[in-house]
């Protein structure tokens, strides 16, 4: 991360410098050695810094106070005891832990620690304690953050303050302290000052740092931040049209579908309860996107007597935030991002303007033809059985329905071709007034066949749990130029491969989960 140069730390005195703590058996072991170094002429001047107890070590050696950990942090002490040789204010060499040969070579004193083991590993320095590192970085590292600081009164509750200031979506948020924001920024390689997107409706240029603040509010972990950044970029394109999606009275909001190895790496769910509660990554990634739009772009819903930009008449629970991973490892289909033009294995997000889900139940089909007809029948009712072309949709094929297709050798191209043929509809039964229903297609469609969805208006993904022949429809808003088109963006700014996190995503040799 680029930023101001951290302030200079304490300068070490010339001679030998030891850093110790009482809560370290190896430091206690070498306490007599420190006395030897101080007493013997060859040792030169010795300064001992203690991290936790000014009464340690008990010896004739004066003890310097490093309980604030400024010396340890600025001089990169990761293990105690550490012995350093300093000349003209600069470090010459150091020994980590207890090693008689290394301490003798560094100090120029032979025969140190008679009766002690020759080697003994040290303990972790308090300056690298995970519970302290974020606060130490804030205290000593020099701030790289440019956002406005807000001081709360001593008796002000952090959670209530967020509600009072309008930073929430109706649920509690995580207070975005400087330490938490710095930790979040470690999840991306991008400069905090980089502009991610111009966010409607206020057309606010939004930086990586500002997105990170809202990711903290949402409850994200740092490794989720690249996904959130890609989602923000996708949402603010002309094609996706987040401003129009906010202004419509329809139900929909942004749905984030994640493809690629990153989904398993950050612990996203693509299986049981994929659209429900219980998975931190799924819930907070979508929420972070919505908080960016609301807090930075001004896209908030109205309240009684206080109009807002989000004009949805009913909305949907997913507008708090909706994100999930596609179940790729046993899918009959190429992943959504691949179908939309990216290379296999690419980490990517696809945004779709939708809501739902609506359940599709077919427990009896045992052939790909039958299950495809079932899914088509359910899709024909999307929006209204007598309406066509206007509304997009996302079909989430469950694993048991997907298994029927996979075992029959149907790939996505075959499935889509069959499905789209079944979704070519006779317009006459759909005309206005037919069956006593005023809603429907205008009379100009009489005698024609019409597609239920516009070209490119139906997205197909594979997700969900086993042991049930269910699929789902995520209803969509108006598609294309008169509404929103799905947008896919690669995720390119991850700091590097991290260790896989516990996940409910099964792994599959030879392919991403």
3-state helix/strand/coil string of 438-501:
CCCECHHHCCCEEECECCCCEEEEECCCCCCCEEEEEEEEEEHHHCECCEEEECCCCCCCCCCC
Closest CA to 296 of 479, 167, 427: 167
In this prediction, residue 511 carries a pLDDT of 30
Instruction: List residues bridging with 19 in a β-sheet.
Output: 49, 82
Contact 296, 218 (CB under 8 A): no
What is the radius of gyration, based on Cα positions, of the chain? 31
- Write the DSSP symbol of residue 479: B
Q: Residue 273: left if φ>0, alpha if ψ -120 to 50, beta else—which one?
A: left
pLDDT of residue 71: 96
Cβ atoms of 240 and 484 closer than 8 Å: yes
Which residues 6+ apart lie within 8 Å of 153 measured at CB?
none
pLDDT for the residue numbered 502: 34
User: Which residues of the chain have a pLDDT value below 70?
Assistant: 1-8, 41-44, 60, 303-306, 496-513
pLDDT at 42: 52
**Phi/psi of residue 64, each to 5°?**
-100, 145
Task: Quote the CA–CA distance of 392 and 18 in Å, as a whole number.
Answer: 68
Q: Quick one: tokens of 162?
A: 């967020």
C-alpha dihedral (502, 505, 510, 512), degrees to nearest 10:
-100
> Rounded distance, CA 469 to CA 402, Å?
9
393 - beta bridge partners?
458, 475
Peptide bond into 57 cis (omega under 30): yes
| Closest among 339, 333, 259, 343 to 512, alpha carbons compared | 259
Model-level pTM greater than 0.85? no
Domains of the chain, first to last: 15-140 (3.40.30.10), 158-490 (no CATH)
Give the model's pLDDT for residue 7.
58
Closest CA to 396 of 363, 349, 366, 352: 352
∠ Cα 388 393 397 (to 5°):
125
| CB atoms near residue 448 (< 10 Å) | 11
Distance CA 223, CA 179 (A): 16
C-alpha dist (Å) from residue 147 to 210, 229, 231, 246, 332: 7, 18, 22, 26, 47
Predicted pLDDT at 3: 42
For 380, counting Cβ atoms within 10 Å of its Cβ (0-12 exposed, 13-18 middle, 19+ buried), the class is middle
Distances (CA, A) of 144 to 75, 209, 264, 487: 20, 9, 31, 32
- Residue 270 to residue 462: CA distance in whole angstroms: 9
In three-state secondary structure terms, 325 is strand
pLDDT at site 304 = 65
Beta strands 195-199 and 123-124: pairing type? unpaired
Q: How many of the other CB atoms lie within 10 Å of CB of 141?
A: 16
Q: Which long-range contacts (CB under 8 A, 24 or more apart) does 162-171 make?
A: 162/217, 166/295, 166/300, 167/217, 167/291, 167/295, 168/217, 169/287, 169/290, 169/291, 169/294, 169/320, 169/321, 170/320, 171/320
């Amino acid at each position: 991360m680029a930023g101001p140069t951290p302030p200079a730390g304490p300068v070490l005195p010339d001679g030998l410098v030891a850093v110790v703590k009482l809560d370290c058996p190896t430091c206690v072991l070498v306490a007599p050695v420190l006395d030897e170094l101080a007493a013997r002429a060859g040792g030169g001047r010795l300064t001992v810094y203690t991290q936790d107890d000014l009464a340690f070590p008990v010896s004739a050696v004066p003890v310097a106070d490093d309980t604030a950990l400024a010396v340890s942090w600025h001089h990169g002490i990761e293990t105690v005891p550490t012995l350093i040789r300093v000349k003209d204010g600069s470090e010459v060499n150091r020994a980590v832990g207890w090693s008689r040969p290394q301490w003798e070579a560094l100090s120029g004193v032979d025969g140190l620690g008679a009766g002690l083991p020759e080697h003994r590993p040290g303990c972790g320095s308090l300056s690298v304690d995970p519970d302290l590192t974020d606060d130490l970085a804030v205290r000593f590292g020099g701030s790289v953050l440019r956002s406005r600081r807000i001081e709360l009164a001593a008796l002000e509750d952090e959670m209530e303050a967020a509600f009072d200031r309008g930073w929430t979506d109706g649920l509690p948020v995580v207070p975005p302290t400087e330490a938490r924001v710095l930790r979040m920024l470690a999840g991306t390689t991008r400069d905090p000052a980089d502009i991610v997107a111009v966010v409607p409706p206020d057309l606010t240029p939004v930086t990586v740092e500002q997105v990170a603040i809202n990711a903290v509010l949402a409850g994200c972990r740092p490794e989720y931040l690249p996904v959130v950044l890609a989602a923000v970029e996708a949402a603010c394109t002309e094609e996706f049209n987040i401003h129009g999606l906010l202004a419509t009275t329809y139900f929909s909001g942004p749905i984030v579908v994640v493809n690629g190895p990153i989904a398993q790496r950050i612990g996203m769910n693509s299986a049981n309860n994929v659209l429900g509660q219980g998975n931190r990554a799924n819930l907070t990634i979508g929420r972070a996107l919505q908080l960016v739009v609301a807090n930075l772009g001004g896209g908030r819903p109205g309240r009684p007597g206080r109009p807002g930009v989000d004009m949805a008449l009913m909305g949907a629970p997913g507008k708090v935030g909706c994100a999930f991973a596609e179940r790729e490892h046993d899918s009959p289909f190429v992943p959504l991002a691949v179908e939309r033009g990216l290379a296999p294995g690419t980490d990517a997000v696809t945004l779709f303007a939708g809501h739902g889900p609506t359940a599709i139940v077919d427990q009896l089909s045992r052939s790909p033809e039958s299950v495809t007809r079932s899914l088509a029948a359910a899709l024909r009712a999307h929006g209204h059985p007598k309406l066509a072309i206007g509304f997009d949709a996302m079909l989430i094929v469950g694993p048991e329905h997907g298994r029927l297709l996979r075992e029959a050798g149907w790939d996505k191209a075959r499935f889509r071709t069959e499905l789209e043929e079944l979704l070519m509809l006779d317009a006459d039964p759909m005309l206005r007034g037919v069956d006593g229903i005023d809603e429907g297609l205008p009379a100009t469609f009489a005698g024609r066949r019409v597609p239920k969805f516009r070209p490119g208006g139906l997205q197909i993904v594979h997700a969900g749990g086993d042991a049930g022949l269910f699929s789902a429809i995520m209803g969509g808003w108006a598609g294309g130029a008169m509404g929103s088109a799905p947008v896919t963006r690669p995720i390119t700014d991850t700091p590097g491969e991290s260790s896989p996190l516990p996940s409910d995503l099964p792994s599959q040799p030879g392919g991403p989960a």
